[in-house]
Amino acid sequence: MRDEIAIAALAALTLAGVFAQSAAAEDKPWRNALVAAKSDAGIIMMVTKGFTDKQGLKLDEIQVDSDQIALKALLAGELDTFEGSPSGSMIAASRGADVKTIGCEWPGLPHGVFVRAGITKLEDLKGKTIAISQPGAMPDQLVRALLAKYGMTPDDVKFANLGGDNDRYKALIAGVVDAAVVSGEYTPIAAKANVTMLVPAREIFPDYLRTCIMTNSATITGRHDALVRYLAAEITALRYAVSHRDETLALTREITGIAADDPRPAYIYDDAIRTQAVDPEIGLPLAKLDWMQQQSVKAGDQPRLVDLAKFADAGPRQEALKLADK
């Protein structure tokens, strides 16, 4: 009898430990990173306004300076997900890294090549300096593709690696560079600085995916339920953002501190809605992912093509859609 009691007590303690571990796992915040907030922050960060709470999930939203920093943090186990261009992640995956995409919330590209006064056509850029971010990133790829389209080569211009959009824009209006790849949000203030958009990025890169959600197999397996609930929160938040303009613009100003009379948040919001640049259902366009990696392989940045059936996992999103629709 004593043995039976002891066994029962041990079983109870074991089950209590299991449930305690489960509860601790549920209390663990969901760690997501994204590139530092800009004029479109209200759309991208709407999920912070209680949408994860409704899914019973705590959220740590972390802003970083670049996709590369977020990718390194994911690979180091410091993040559950991050939002960024899938290009760098496919390059990493082609080299054996455990990284996957599970959905793309901003498939449209809002950027463009902005130029100083006096430059009215691409040929005028010959011998000029163009601000990009870093070799292999979208601004670099965009300029190279644009030059190739007009029969020019990278040797016909000079490249300046100048960090984020704001850094590149400041360098442009200060005359440090002659052209820069920056977000279209600068369009409504560029004219006052004698700067114009020479060509929209979407005309050169119609299939370039701006932002997808990245994770890894460890998270998909180890935190599957939390991942599904996080994606459901993202979907409901994006649906709300694209249908509630005033609330979204207010959130942008709250997050970024952009003044009420600054036209950039309204411009980029209206542009995103007009061009359907945001996908609230966070789809997985495999054809576009394949096009992007083909460009990286051609440029020599990606050593080999990745198997998209392994890199893109649609399962968590499909579950999340059902949860979001309840």
pLDDT in tens, 196-210: 999 999 999 999 999
Rounded Cα distance, 269 and 302, in Å: 33
Q: Establish if 299 belongs to a structural domain.
A: yes
Rounded Cα distance, 68 and 51, in Å: 27
pTM confidence score: 0.86
Rounded Cα distance, 163 and 133, in Å: 5
Domain containing 311 equals 6-107+209-325
Q: Establish if 278 belongs to a structural domain.
A: yes
CB 47 within 8 A of CB 59: yes
28 Cβ contact partners less than 8 Å away, ≥ 6 residues apart: 58, 226
Give bridge partners of residue 181 from the DSSP assignment. Answer: 113
Same domain, 85 and 119: no
Same domain, 56 and 95: yes
- Which pLDDT value is given to residue 27? 76
Q: Establish if 1 belongs to a structural domain.
A: no
Distances (CA, A) of 260 to 170, 171, 248, 250: 21, 25, 13, 9
Distances (CA, A) of 127 to 85, 108, 158, 218, 325: 30, 30, 7, 48, 54
Cα angle 150, 152, 158; round to 5:
125
Same domain, 225 and 90: yes
Radius of gyration of the chain (CA): 22
Give the model confidence (pLDDT) of 45-56 as tens digits: 999 999 999 999
CB 301 within 8 A of CB 136: yes
Rounded Cα distance, 87 and 93, in Å: 10
Cα angle 278, 280, 283; round to 5:
90
Q: Establish if 320 belongs to a structural domain.
A: yes
CB 79 within 8 A of CB 33: yes
- Which pLDDT value is given to residue 17? 40
Same domain, 132 and 190: yes
Rounded Cα distance, 185 and 187, in Å: 6
Give residue for tokens 């080999």.
Answer: 304
CATH of residue 273's domain is: 3.40.190.10
Point out the domain boundary residue: 204, 230, 246: 204
Give residue for tokens 């760098």.
Answer: 88
Same domain, 235 and 278: yes
Same domain, 175 and 60: no
- Which pLDDT value is given to residue 26? 54
DSSP tally for the chain: helices H, then strands E: 16, 10
| H or E stretch at 82 | strand 81-84
Question: Mean pLDDT of all residues in the chain?
Answer: 90
Same domain, 189 and 266: no
Phi first, then psi: give them for residue 41, nearest 5 degrees.
-60, -35
Domains: count for the chain: 2
| H or E stretch at 112 | strand 111-116
Same domain, 103 and 219: yes
Same domain, 132 and 39: no
Q: Establish if 125 belongs to a structural domain.
A: yes
Same domain, 32 and 179: no
- Which pLDDT value is given to residue 23? 39
Segments of the chain with pLDDT less than 50: 1-25
Same domain, 85 and 227: yes
Same domain, 94 and 128: no
Measured in whole angstroms, how far is the alpha carbon of residue 171 from the centre of its chain?
Answer: 24
Residue positions counted in the chain: 326
Point out the domain boundary residue: 156, 187, 204: 204
Give residue for tokens 């859609």.
Answer: 321
Point out the domain boundary residue: 204, 219, 247: 204
Q: Establish if 313 belongs to a structural domain.
A: yes
CB 105 within 8 A of CB 205: no
CB 142 within 8 A of CB 201: yes
